[in-house]
Structure 1
């Protein structure tokens, strides 16, 4: 008898690339959204976040854009750092694991095991249901189970390619993802991105601290490098 679910189940919509975390794809969307918001901030000269901040931070006649620009710089630096810490590590780890992996064919699952897995998934709220492509995949007890509409069921270790063709396809996918990420982050290393974020944070903190110390925005930017 198969033991109970170890990590729950995950329904995937397509056979190739399903073992990449859905959270990673969400991170990519969030990065794009953040970049778009920053772009809009630069073009409009106003950031919606600022509506909740003290008005005096925006009223310096000599340099009214200093605070919005500092805030945008911090948001952008944080977005890039977060992307490299999350997506960058994810895709580089996947690339290294796939490069080192020896393709291993999925094993056929007999009727008894397939029935037990179906029941366990159903009990966990993830009943087998086929999308348009006729393939349902779910992680169960450390194995990726693949169900097809023709009744076949196979199991394989997540992250291990099943064929040389699949290995080559995944390597290409991960390399492309890393390339796109590096375009978004300017090709900087994690240490460089972290240093940029710390510098941007310090710049913003200096502006806010001076506003608090002087009680007026008319002087705070003159002495901030």
Structure 2
């Protein structure tokens, strides 16, 4: 088993577990907020798609419906940031921005995978057009690398922030009166950080 396959198995396990957790919270948890249910179902859909993406048969998923769905999901999170009039728009949007960027990264990966397949199909173009095609491809490749790098850097930053935020206070969680709430927050931040890290790795891996 190669190192790439090991990473693929780890990513599949991570996103499969994240999908189960999101489905459980979105379907089984009783909540009066419709937004929370939609959030969790969107997370579950993204995690399921990410779980199969590392494998060759994952490319069988149609690209256009994926791109449209996850682009709409990326817009959903900032548009529904404010739950009440007492919440500030800027702070609420900033809190949900990592989820929107994660959905945008999913849209970008599905688009990039389709672009690579189109390049493979066009590998046999006539020699007269190869120079023009090569220049166009190099220009697109540079732009693709910039977009991929920006998305991956942002997700890595969010991941490290979520995963390290509670480290200095983990020993004190059992001493607080709202122990269950604190542990729930720690758990939520762990999964946010882990899935953001996995998404960044998926962005940087070749497809």
Q: TM-score per shorter chain, which class?
A: 0.3 to 0.5
The two structures have a TM-score, normalised by structure 2, of 0.41
Higher RCO (CA < 8 A, seq sep 6+): 1
The two structures have a TM-score, normalised by structure 1, of 0.38
The structure that has the greater radius of gyration is: 1
- Relative to its length, the structure with more helix (as a share) is 2
